[in-house]
Structure 1
Amino acid sequence: MAPEIFLTDARSPLTQEVEVLDEHGQRRRISIPAERALTVFVDRRELVTLMTLGAAPELLVIGYLRNQRLIDAIDDIESVTVDWDVAAAAVKTRRGVADFEKKTAKRVVTTGCGQGTVFGNLMDELDRVDLAGPTDPAGRLDQATLYGLLDAMRRQESTYKSAGSVHGCALFRGDELLTFVEDVGRHNAIDTIAGWMWLQGIDGRDKIFYTTGRLTSEMVIKSAQMGVAIVVSRSGITQMGHELATKLGLALFGRATNRHFICYSGFERFDSQPEIARPAPATQAS
């Protein structure tokens, strides 16, 4: 039996009301997303400060440690304690982090919203990626399922709809929504999902990852590390994101809204059904 992990359940408001002046000269109150700093300490050593919405800070921290490959197994974590009064998350491990200084010496400021930070050895870890093969049904996607996924996201209630200015990420099995996370940066949202998967022991091989943000190298790397071979985005893609996806064999879909999308890579994983791209025309009454 796996050792029990102690987690706080730190809560904080996701939005805040502010007074604004609109184009008609009218003052009114609207909601905007909250943004707060969370400094992460691992065994009392400061690691990083994350700017976050704060929806699920414990899962964010766990996913961050996983995606940075600073901790190899979920069982290595004894506790994650978040205290918003001091804006800190304290992680206690069971055996410490081997080569902590070496692993955290090289930092790369990414294109993540709010300037995400990754540690420089991630590229060296890509040979550990284990994805379902393109002929494995678990690693394939058909057009009807893609449309079902996009419709589920269209109907999903979100902070973005009420306040804007956040990114959303989701994990699907087929067109079934498993979990949905929003944060001020897409890298935080994907880390939170990674933490949820790790904590629940969920395999990514038959899953689909969705994001509202652009498909950068960071997003591609983290999706692959989660074992997810199919990634769908409402936005576009960068050159390095495309190169890495092609190298790793991921299927990337961008500009995906309603019944429109572009498949940028991994064509062999996609079962195209162009006949359902548009609804059938209505028949005229005789």
Structure 2
Amino acid sequence: MPRPVLTNAIAELTREVEVMDERGRVSTIFIPAERPLTVYVDKRELVTLMTLGGAPEALTLGYLRNQRLVTSIDDIESVQVDWSVDAVAVKTRTGIANVEERTSKRVVTTGCGQGSVFGGLMDEVDKIVLPEDARLKQSVLYKIVDSIRTMKSIYKQAGSVHGCALFSAAGEVIYFVEDVGRHNAVDAIAGKMWLDDVRGEDKVFYTTGRLTSEMVIKGAQMGIPFLLSRSGTTQMGHMVADRLGMSLVARCTGTHFLLLTGKDRIIFEPQLLDGSLRVA
């Protein structure tokens, strides 16, 4: 089956604006761009996403994947983004079965910019099985956190965005995506994984935002057993991760972290227990 035909419609990621400080001094700064992207599937309007615009095709694919509206990348014929009308047209090979019924119920989540999921929030979660033997070394965790700290990003230039990254079991970055909402960034990574046929069972996911139920469920749907964040989690995010046996690691800064669930998956290394930072 041929891969989907894609545009490469990366938009301008920042804008320069004039500001005045508390002393009346005028200067210019960069701020993140934000634009609507209305998703049409087989000419039917589905949703409008507010996005930075850095990976609109991957975002669209990941959104369809994480909403469980499309189950295989082979079902997509094309994804065409046109920023002149702020829209993306998705053409499927056979259509989406029962699309009206499946998109009739929407849950607005705690994602920045009002994330949403179609259907019951917990639908099909109990069917997800993460690999039992997946393990992550403490030194690799430190390596990931340090890699994020030193990574070139829109956030360092302009602030006001969230970043998500996918890492290998050795702590090497595979994808890094920033967007105005963390739910968009995780969807874009899901889309990239789909396009590149990258599996998640030996991968580590990092987000700068909270580990909410939405983020945990999406990570699980991508088959990823490790979710890391420099922020915290929510009660429902904790509950879902615990049910799935996923390692939820919050407050990752420097050599500090809080391991909330999936404690048997993290390999603590005696030489690192004094807090010294030694990457793998």
- In structure 2, the partner of 1:143 is 138
- In structure 1, the partner of 2:56 is 57
Instruction: Give the conservation status (yes or no) of the 8 Å contact 1:149–1:176.
Output: yes
**Residues in 1 aligned to 2:276 and 2:247: alpha-carbon distance in whole angstroms:** 25
- In structure 2, the partner of 1:283 is none
How many residues are matched? 275
CA RMSD of aligned residues (A): 1.1
Amino acid at match of 1:237: T
**Residues in 2 aligned to 1:69 and 1:42: alpha-carbon distance in whole angstroms:** 14
What's the offset of the Cα at 1:10?
Answer: 0.6
The equivalences for 1:158-177 within 5 A come to: 158-174=153-169, 175-177=171-173
- In structure 1, the partner of 2:189 is 193
- In structure 2, the partner of 1:219 is 215
TM-score by length of 2: 0.96
Instruction: Give the conservation status (yes or no) of the 8 Å contact 2:129–2:244.
Output: no
Question: Where does the alignment leave 5 or more consecutive residues of structure 2 unmatched?
Answer: none
Amino acid at match of 2:217: I
What's the offset of the Cα at 1:126?
Answer: 1.3
Q: Residue 125 in 1 paired to residue 124 in 2? A: yes
Q: 1:207 aligns with which of 203, 206, 214?
A: 203
Q: Residue 34 in 1 paired to residue 33 in 2? A: yes
What's the offset of the Cα at 1:273?
Answer: 2.6
The equivalences for 1:269-280 within 5 A come to: 269-273=265-269, 275-277=271-273, 278-279=275-276
**Residues in 2 aligned to 1:140 and 1:27: alpha-carbon distance in whole angstroms:** 52
Q: Deviations over 1:46-73 (max 9, x none)?
A: 1000000000000000000000000111
- In structure 2, the partner of 1:152 is 147
What's the offset of the Cα at 1:222?
Answer: 0.1
Instruction: Give the conservation status (yes or no) of the 8 Å contact 2:255–2:276.
Output: no
What's the offset of the Cα at 1:128?
Answer: 3.2
**Residues in 1 aligned to 2:270 and 2:98: alpha-carbon distance in whole angstroms:** 52
Instruction: Give the conservation status (yes or no) of the 8 Å contact 1:169–1:212.
Output: yes
- In structure 1, the partner of 2:77 is 78
What's the offset of the Cα at 1:98?
Answer: 0.4
Bigger radius of gyration? 1
Instruction: Give the conservation status (yes or no) of the 8 Å contact 2:36–2:86.
Output: yes
**Residues in 1 aligned to 2:83 and 2:270: alpha-carbon distance in whole angstroms:** 50
- In structure 1, the partner of 2:257 is 261
Instruction: Give the conservation status (yes or no) of the 8 Å contact 2:38–2:49.
Output: yes
What's the offset of the Cα at 1:274?
Answer: 5.2
Assess, with a 3 A threshold, how the Cα gap between structure 1 residues 122 and 66 changes in structure 2: closer, same or farther.
farther
What's the offset of the Cα at 1:207?
Answer: 0.1
Q: Secondary structure at the match of 2:39?
A: strand
Q: Secondary structure at the match of 1:124?
A: coil
Which stretch shifts more, 24-33 or 223-232?
24-33
Q: Deviations over 1:133-157 (max 9, x none)?
A: 0xx1xx1111111001111111110
What's the offset of the Cα at 1:272?
Answer: 1.6
What's the offset of the Cα at 1:131?
Answer: 1.2
Moved over 4 A (4+): none
Q: Secondary structure at the match of 1:69?
A: coil
- In structure 1, the partner of 2:45 is 46
Which stretch shifts more, 124-133 or 81-90?
124-133
